[in-house]
Amino acid sequence: MKVSQELQGLFLQLGVPRSFPKRHTLLHAGDVSQHAYFVETGCIRLWHNHGGTDVSVKFFLPGELCASLQSMHNEEPSKYELETITPCVVRILKRSELEREAEASPGLRAYFASIMVHCLVDYQDLFVDRIAKTPEDRYRALIEEDPAVLDMVPLHFIASYLGVTPVSLSRIRRKTHLS
């Protein structure tokens, strides 16, 4: 989700700029999230280790805000990891700074609430899509709704996001591009 100009300005003003290499872990599962990240360049993924299987949950592109919302909001250990999948430049803001700014600006607090609702809707859609749609349908939807992800994200992570093996994704891609 792209962020408002106000929130982007907050990250540009107060956020600490940092560069990270490809495959750098920003948050480990089991750690309590204390930071939010505004992606300036590159791509970050939120993922979960499900019994040894890597499950990509979400990809964050330039102009988007990312964090482990479950961990940050509930102040509990994260079930997810945040990892750069390309070299990235991000602006980092501490949770405490975000809370302080939200307290000072009712509009910002309302905007944070709308971000939470937006994320909830996204995750509900992801859940229903995993049940109701075939992997091919999910791939077609990704092409239509978020083609930038296909340009930045390696295919093995897209396969994990779609819930298929890389070999199955290769078959789906071949079939999709032939039709």
Of 25-39, 44-58, 72-86, 102-116, the least confident: 102-116
H helices of 3-134, in order, are 5-14, 69-74, 95-104, 106-132
> pLDDT value at position 1?
61
pLDDT computed for residue 29 by the predictor: 96
What is the mean pLDDT of the segment spanning 100-119? 78
Of residues 2, 15, 31, 3, the one with CA closest to residue 101: 15
Residue for token pair 């779609």:
162
Higher pLDDT, 4 or 95: 95
Structure-token pair, residue 27: 């948050």
pLDDT higher than 80, residue 2: no
| CA–CA distance, 179 with 168 (Å, rounded to integer) | 17
In which order are the strands placed within the sheet that holds 25-27?
25-27, 81-84, 44-50, 53-60
Place of tokens 């749609």: 133
| The pair of three-digit structure tokens given for residue 171, joined into one six-digit string | 């078959």
Q: What is the mean pLDDT of residues 78-84?
A: 96
How far apart are alpha carbons 49 and 66 in whole angstroms? 19
Question: How far is Cα 151 from Cα 2, in angstroms, rounded to an integer?
Answer: 18
The predicted structure's pLDDT at residue 122 = 80
Q: Lowest-confidence range among 35-39, 123-127, 153-157?
A: 123-127
- 68 CB contacts (<8 Å, ≥6 apart)? 27, 33, 46, 78, 79, 80, 82
CATH number for the domain formed by residue range(s) 5-132: 2.60.120.10
